[in-house]
Each structure stands twice: as C-alpha cells, then as structure tokens.
C-alpha cells in the first residue's frame, strides 16, 4: 500500500523556514512540525538525505509548501527541508540498502484550526485529519 503520509506533530528538534501569513495576530498559535512521509519504497541506506521519487518528485529540499485552513486561507508557508530516508519495514534485512520512505519534517507555528490542508509545489492539497498515534498530531493518507 503506497501512499503519502503528512503529519503535524508536537515540536521537533529540526529547524526550517516557515512564516505565518493569515489570521488574527491575537489568535492562539501552536508550534507544530509538518511531517511528510513519502512512501516511494526506494532502495537506499537508512538516514541519508533523499527526495521523493516517481510521482513524488515535487517533494524535495526547498520545495515550496503552504499550510491552509479549511477555507483555503494560507496559515503559513515556507520551503521543505531535506528529506531523510527511513526504513519501510521494521525487519532488519542485514544489507546496506533497504526499501525506504523519504521523510520530511518542517517546524511551523500556526493558528489553531479544526482542519488543515498541505499544498506542496502548488500540487493539489492534502487534507490533514486528527491522529494520536504519535501524540497530538494531524495526519493525511493519500493513496498513490
């Protein structure tokens, strides 16, 4: 099952450029991390820089992104950081190159909303929904 998973998680240790764009300055804002997992199942070592492959080539270092509210207003925008390869399977295959996904993480500060949508490189928005599997998070799963 190949798909893209995008998450907004509690603050991460990573840095990235994102700027607030819309909303009342007095609105409550939350520091979150946009986490995009591109399930491209590429063979590479775990922990190396990567970019999306195949239909996901628009996921790459410095690709522009926007985080939208349900009404389509931009809450924040910026550029993706480099992706890092993560193992596609939990099993230790005992080889140097394994099937991996490419994971992107970018911290943002956004106004609180019931829902968010992620736009990368002006492609169609990815709807984000609530998920608590990694603590307070929002998740989107888009079939490939």
Domain annotation covers residue 140: no
Domain annotation covers residue 144: no
Domain annotation covers residue 136: no
Phi, psi of 3 (to 5 degrees): -165, 170
Determine the 3-state secondary structure of 132 from DSSP: coil
30 pLDDT higher than 70: yes
Q: Report residue 144's pLDDT band, with 50, 70 and 90 as the boundaries.
A: very low
Measured CA distances, 98 to 87, 89, 141 (Å): 7, 9, 23
Q: Report residue 139 as tokens.
A: 């998740």
Q: Report residue 26's pLDDT band, with 50, 70 and 90 as the boundaries.
A: low
Write down the pLDDT at residue 142: 39
Domain annotation covers residue 143: no
Q: Which residue range(s) make up the domain with 127?
A: 3-131
Q: DSSP secondary-structure letter at 133?
A: B
Write down the pLDDT at residue 1: 43
Domain annotation covers residue 96: yes
Q: Report residue 25 as tokens.
A: 């300055």
Write down the pLDDT at residue 17: 43
Q: Report residue 31's pLDDT band, with 50, 70 and 90 as the boundaries.
A: confident
Length of the chain: 144
pTM, full prediction: 0.75
Q: What percent of the chain has pLDDT over 70?
A: 71
Contacts of 129 (CB under 8 A, 6+ apart): 115, 138, 139, 140
Domain annotation covers residue 18: yes
Q: How many domains does the chain have?
A: 1
Domain annotation covers residue 139: no
Residues 118 and 8: their CA atoms lie apart, in Å, by: 10
Residues 82 and 95: their CA atoms lie apart, in Å, by: 24
pLDDT digits 0-9 by tens, 94-113: 999 999 989 888 888 888 88
Nearest to 105 by CA among 130, 124, 84, 120: 84
Domain annotation covers residue 142: no
């Amino acid at each position: 099952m190949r798909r893209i998973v995008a998450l907004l998680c509690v603050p991460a240790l990573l840095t990235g450029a994102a700027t607030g764009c819309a909303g009342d300055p007095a609105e409550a804002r939350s520091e979150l991390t946009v986490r995009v997992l591109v399930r491209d199942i590429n063979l590479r070592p775990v922990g190396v820089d990567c970019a999306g492959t195949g239909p996901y080539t628009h996921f790459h270092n410095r690709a522009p992104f926007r985080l939208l509210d349900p009404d389509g207003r931009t809450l924040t925008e910026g550029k993706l950081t480099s992706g890092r390869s993560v193992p596609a399977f939990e099993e230790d295959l005992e080889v140097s190159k394994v099937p991996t996904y490419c994971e992107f993480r970018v911290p943002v500060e956004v106004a609180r909303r019931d829902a968010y949508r992620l736009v990368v490189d002006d492609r169609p928005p990815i709807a984000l929904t609530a998920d608590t599997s990694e603590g307070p998070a929002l998740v989107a799963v888009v079939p490939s």
